[in-house]
Amino acid sequence: MRSFLGSGLLALACAVATAAQVAAQTAVSEAQAKAGFVLNFARYVEWPERVFAARDAPILLCVLGRDEVATALTALDGRQVQGRPIAVRRLANADEARPCQVLFIAESESRRLALTLRAVAGQPLLTVSDADAFIDAGGAIGIVRGDGRLQFEVNRAALDQAQLKASSNLLKLARNLAEAKGRN
């Protein structure tokens, strides 16, 4: 009986350790999946021609805040989208976002979300975040978890305000198409 309890405790300890490793891997995998979403959003959005100074100018993907997704986005540096390389830049604040084409706002910036979105309003900038109620706050594309998987929501009014055009394929895949203008 004692050896059974000992082996049972050992099995339980191994299971807990394995579950912790899986949880850590899942968090990294989810962050990488969200970074993949951002890459695909950039593939299916059109910016006004005036946004790019030169024909070979990169798509500047800027990251505001710090979390696992923000870290995973750095792996996109140098990838090609619409015939342009992606250049990833970390920002200290929203005022630095003017030259960017994509702005990922990390969940760590949730408290300053409304202020950040007001600071970039009207710029030809695709705003993306996984923060709760992002599109309700006026963001363009929010990455959400639903039905046990990652999905995204699109705020068409925010895209229009930013003078961006999302492909019909991107809009068809969205879980929710909102016309919300955001809370300013």
Q: Pick 30-178's CATH classification: 1.10.760.10, 3.40.50.2300, 3.30.565.10, 3.40.50.620.
A: 3.40.50.2300
Domain boundaries, the chain: 30-178
pTM of the predicted model, to two decimals? 0.81
pLDDT digit string (tens) for 69-98? Answer: 988 999 999 999 999 999 999 999 999 999
The two three-digit tokens of residue 25, written as one number: 């891997």
Whole-angstrom CA distances from 45 to 8, 15, 154, 164, 173 are: 54, 44, 12, 7, 13
pLDDT digit string (tens) for 124-142? Answer: 999 999 999 999 999 999 9
CA 69 to chain centre: 7
